[in-house]
Amino acid sequence: MAFLVTLAGFVGRWFGVLVLASAVVGLLAADQTAQLVTWVNPLLGVIMFGMGLTLRPADFKIVATRPQAALVGVLAQFVVMPLTGWGLAMALQLPPELVVGMVLVGSAPGGTASNVIVYLARGDVALSVAMTSVSTLLAPLLTPLLVLLLAGSTLPVDAAGLLTSILQVVLVPVVLGLVVRLLFARLVERVLPLLPLVSVGGIVVVVAAVVGANADALLSTGALVVLAVVLHNAAGLTLGYLAAWAVRLPESARRAISVEVGMQNSGLAAALATTHFTPLAALPAALFSVWHNIAGALVAGVWSRRPTDPAPPNPPESAEKPTAS
């Protein structure tokens, strides 16, 4: 058990490096890793169940106690990222499948690895966890609607199918995880330190599978897609911070909202793309999964050396347990 906990801690700390390595493996062993695409949805369900295990009812209290911060954050999440994803895809004249892929990434809820980045950046961790939780619960409604509105003229969009998929691989597993924690709190507390082995492992397989399935497209259009992904992430980080600054939220809240808006649940975007569109539509999500962890670590490194609010942030319960990219 001690060995597994140590291994889980190692996996959590080197999450970004492992995801980057999985992308390289996916590219070099494309024929083999492409066969893993059928595992994307089941793996995402397991990852989201793990997220549910880390949640507590108290995580949602901030919505009532600090509604302005939570509202600004969630609005920025579902306005900034979908619109900038669509705008960048149009400006760079990406093919229809990649347009849908960019919109899917932008319309996804926040990824829970963002909670770790916010903690390292000395941001408001409670707000970060609340934003991730609320955006995940809103995703079954907002994600299909946004994809339909922004990408429906590019490719046919089955909004009802997207809704069903999100319910199956996100909402049901998250709620089930939350219920299991409430019923078996003591047991869950014992297994929580092991979650990175499952969650990071799942994301690594998802990224390798999507990159492998799109190896040829990545080699031919990779530079353009990478540029779109980097700009998309940068826009989220910047505009999220500015939105919080505009309503005069404290510095720690600005950092939390910046990171939450800039980091997406790209695993969900990849799963939806492979299920309802083509493997090519999942390419932006796979690349985003790699890049946003690198960018998040860089941002956290800068902010960790700069002062923030007087009260230091508390570490997130899953500080060493990223559960979804």
Domain ranges of the chain: 18-303
Minimal CA–CA distance to 225: which of 90, 106, 92, 29? 92
Percent of the chain with pLDDT over 70: 94
* Residue 11 predicted with pLDDT over 70: yes
What is the overall mean pLDDT for the chain? Answer: 87
* Residue 104 predicted with pLDDT over 90: yes
Q: Tell me the C-alpha distance between 324 and 305, whole Å.
A: 26
Q: What's the pLDDT at 184?
A: 92
| Separate counts of helices (H) and strands (E) for the chain | 17, 0
Confidence of residue 258 (pLDDT cuts 50, 70, 90): very high
Report the topology of domain 18-303.
Answer: Na+/H+ antiporter like fold (1.20.1530)
> Reduced to 3 DSSP states, what percent helix, strand and coil does the chain have, rounded to the nearest 5?
80, 0, 20
* Residue 93 predicted with pLDDT over 90: yes
Q: Tell me the C-alpha distance between 44 and 285, whole Å.
A: 13
Q: What's the pLDDT at 82?
A: 97
**pLDDT (average), residues 137-145:** 94
* Residue 152 predicted with pLDDT over 60: yes
Confidence of residue 165 (pLDDT cuts 50, 70, 90): very high
Percent of the chain with pLDDT over 90: 42
Highest mean pLDDT among 32-46, 118-132, 242-256, 275-289: 242-256
Q: What's the pLDDT at 204?
A: 86
Burial, 230: exposed, middle or buried (Cβ in 10 Å; 0-12, 13-18, 19+)?
A: middle
Task: Identify whether the C-beta of residue 99 lies closer than 8 Å to the C-beta of residue 89.
Answer: yes
Per-residue pLDDT tens over the stretch 268-314: 998 899 899 988 898 999 889 888 888 888 888 889 888 776 554 55
Please give the model's pTM, rounded to 2 decimal places: 0.85
- Three-state DSSP class for residue 248: coil
Provide the 8-state DSSP code for 264: B
Q: What's the pLDDT at 325?
A: 59
